[in-house]
């Protein structure tokens, strides 16, 4: 079934009654990424993660995965670290334009990796860098967070699912992962069994920049372009099928898996 067929007026009125959250992929999505990444840590990286976060790697990383979202209100200077504003029509990262003074997800993660690798830094500072890195790797794999789409990362694209009024951003932040069947642990079990060694090798190649550019491409081709032809209501909202999150499960599953593999690769590199 094509997306355009899913963007037709509906007779059904099923509703996703889920609260919004500050971080990409919802807390559940971040926990999936963190727990799955713990499976691919080297012995050295795992030991250092457990020391810095004071607990077993999987549980400690899952707990830390939403910390950067939880402290954002008290530390407004960190808000810009959760995005990268690559022009959607261009798709290529330009640091001077898209990350002034290092204030974007790519710039912040690069800085955090350096802090994490520097064992002369205080443990508290390295632990904070680790927590930011765990969260922000998930952020850049939510495609809408890597583009300047002229719509505030999809927040200004208003949608209607049955009786629910929402935005494109909220659907990708929350509904897609939350409509998957299972707890974070169950999702990790399902997704990790599909990740082959060749997947891990391919996904871990590249850089923070190329990973974000990859997400920007998904935002254009697999999210925004899919909206063309959608029925527009008199209030300006686009009428979307309640099946839309299900249609996007395959893409979202791969993005979560890639984020996990790449998080592990970043930690293995920084925590030798």
Domain spanning 3-270, CATH architecture: Orthogonal Bundle (1.10)
Domain spans, the chain? 3-270
pLDDT in tens, 226-246: 898 889 999 999 998 888 888
pLDDT in tens, 144-196: 999 999 999 999 999 998 788 999 999 999 889 988 888 999 999 999 999 99
Q: Tell me the C-alpha distance between 233 and 221, whole Å.
A: 23
Percent of the chain at pLDDT exceeding 70? 92
User: What is the model's pLDDT at position 152?
Assistant: 96
User: What is the model's pLDDT at position 246?
Assistant: 87
31 closest CA partner among 183, 215, 141: 183
């Amino acid at each position: 079934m094509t997306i355009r067929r899913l963007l037709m007026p509906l007779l059904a009125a099923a509703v996703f009654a889920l609260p919004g959250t500050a971080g990409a992929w919802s807390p559940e999505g971040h926990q999936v990424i963190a727990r799955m990444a713990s499976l691919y840590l080297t012995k050295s990286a795992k030991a250092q993660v457990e020391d810095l976060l004071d607990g077993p790697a999987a549980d400690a990383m899952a707990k830390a995965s939403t910390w950067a979202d939880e402290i954002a209100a008290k530390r407004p200077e960190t808000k810009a670290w959760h995005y990268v504003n690559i022009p959607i029509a261009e798709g290529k990262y330009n640091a001077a334009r898209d990350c002034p003074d290092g204030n974007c997800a790519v710039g912040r993660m690069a800085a955090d990796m350096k802090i994490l690798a520097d064992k002369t830094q205080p443990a508290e500072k390295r632990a904070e860098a680790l927590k930011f890195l765990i969260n922000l790797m998930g952020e850049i794999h939510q495609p809408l967070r890597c583009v300047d789409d002229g719509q505030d990362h999809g927040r200004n694209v208003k949608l209607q699912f049955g009786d629910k009024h929402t935005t494109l951003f909220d659907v990708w932040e929350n509904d897609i992962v939350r409509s998957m069947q299972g707890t974070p642990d169950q999702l990790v079990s399902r997704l990790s069994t599909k990740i082959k060694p060749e997947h891990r090798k391919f996904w871990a190649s590249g850089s923070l920049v190329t990973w974000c550019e990859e997400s920007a491409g998904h935002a254009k081709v697999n999210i925004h372009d899919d909206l063309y032809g959608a029925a527009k209501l008199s209030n300006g909202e686009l009428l979307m099928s309640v099946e839309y999150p299900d249609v996007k499960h395959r893409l979202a599953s791969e993005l979560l898996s890639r984020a996990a593999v790449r998080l592990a690769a970043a930690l293995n590199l920084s925590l030798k």
